[in-house]
């Protein structure tokens, strides 16, 4: 029984260590545009067993929109993602602080091309207007439309890096609904709630310390039992 208790206590320490790492990462990205916080869930692999699965999932909830007035700052209000072209393939993001490269192509802060319905978006000189559907107009000339997409089950997306996602095989893009709008001159803030994360970190730390104490107590009991058996011999 002591061995089983020791294993459970060690598992508890490992789970809380993962939890604290995730919380720390959330707090470190509080000020990152478009960042989506992560959550740790502990699920039983099989009912009636002591084995548990530690699963990290991303909370895709809407972050607050902040007005910047920059014509190339874009935020999505509602479900959906911007599409960007990276060396590893197409990725999806809510981080909309875009800029132009030397050729006038719309890019992310990492230098990745933002994709429109016709591919990379080339924007000539002039005042840029982007409407709620993502249509890009320079002066009075339509240039392209941002390829904003959504997914039937966005929780299946895989986070790669702080603000990028990739879709696994079998997950298909779809058009956004009428409730989704693109807002020019705004950025979506991180959806991390600092106060909430701090409370969760305190609870996790206390749980970790409790598991540590349990390990020490069980280790002491195991040593005592071993010594008692030795004396009986």
Nearest alpha carbon to residue 130 among 199, 194, 182: 182
pLDDT of 66 reads 97
> How many residues are listed for the chain in this entry?
233
Q: What is the DSSP string of 85-121?
A: EETTEEEEE---B-EE-TTSBEE-TTSPEEEETTEE-
Number of neighbours of residue 92 by Cβ within 10 angstroms: 22
Q: What was the pLDDT predicted at 146?
A: 98
- pTM of this structure: 0.83
What pLDDT score does 225 carry? 52
- Listed in sequence order, the residues at least 6 apart from 218 whose beta carbon sits closer than 8 Å to its beta carbon are 2, 5, 6, 9
Q: Is 56 strand, coil or helix?
A: strand
CA atoms within 13 A on the CB side of 46: 4
Q: How far apart are CA 218 and CA 207, in angstroms?
A: 17
Residue among 144, 148, 139 at smallest CA distance from 181: 148
Give the pLDDT score at 47.
46
Question: CA neighbours within 13 Å on the CB side: how many for 6?
Answer: 11
The DSSP H or E segment spanning 75 is strand 74-77
Residue 127 burial (10 A CB sphere; 0-12, 13-18, 19+): exposed
**Per-residue confidence of the chain (233 residues) as pLDDT tens digits?**
456 666 777 777 788 888 999 999 999 999 999 999 999 876 654 444 555 567 889 999 999 999 999 999 999 999 999 999 999 999 999 999 999 999 999 999 999 999 999 999 999 999 999 999 999 999 999 999 999 999 999 999 999 988 999 999 989 999 999 999 999 999 999 999 999 999 999 998 888 788 777 777 766 555 555 555 545 45
* Confidence (pLDDT) at 97: 97
Kindly state the DSSP code that residue 170 receives in the 8-state scheme.
T
Q: Which residues of 14-45 are buried (b: 16+ CB within 10 A; e: fewer)?
A: ebbebbbebbebbeebeeebbbbbbebeeeee
């Amino acid at each position: 029984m002591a061995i089983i208790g020791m294993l459970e206590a060690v598992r508890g320490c490992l789970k809380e260590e993962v939890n604290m790492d995730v919380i720390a990462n959330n707090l470190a990205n509080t000020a990152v545009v478009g960042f989506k916080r992560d959550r740790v869930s502990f699920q039983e692999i099989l009912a009636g067993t002591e084995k548990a699965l530690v699963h990290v999932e991303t909370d895709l909830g809407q972050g607050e929109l902040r007005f910047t007035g920059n014509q190339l700052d874009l935020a999505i209000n509602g479900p959906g993602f911007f599409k960007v072209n990276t060396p590893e393939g197409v990725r999806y993001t809510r981080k909309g602080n875009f800029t132009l490269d030397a050729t006038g192509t719309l890019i992310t802060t990492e230098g990745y091309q933002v994709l429109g319905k016709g591919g990379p978006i080339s924007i000539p000189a002039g005042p840029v207007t982007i409407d709620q559907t993502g249509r890009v107009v320079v002066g009075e000339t339509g240039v392209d439309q941002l390829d904003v997409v959504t997914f039937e089950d966005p929780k299946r997306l895989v986070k790669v890096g702080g603000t990028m996602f990739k879709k696994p095989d079998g997950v298909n893009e779809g058009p956004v609904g009428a409730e989704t709008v693109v807002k020019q001159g705004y950025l979506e803030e991180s959806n991390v709630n600092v106060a909430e994360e701090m409370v969760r970190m305190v609870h996790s730390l206390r749980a970790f310390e409790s598991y540590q104490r349990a390990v020490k107590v069980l280790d002491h009991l195991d040593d005592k039992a071993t010594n008692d058996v030795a004396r009986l011999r």
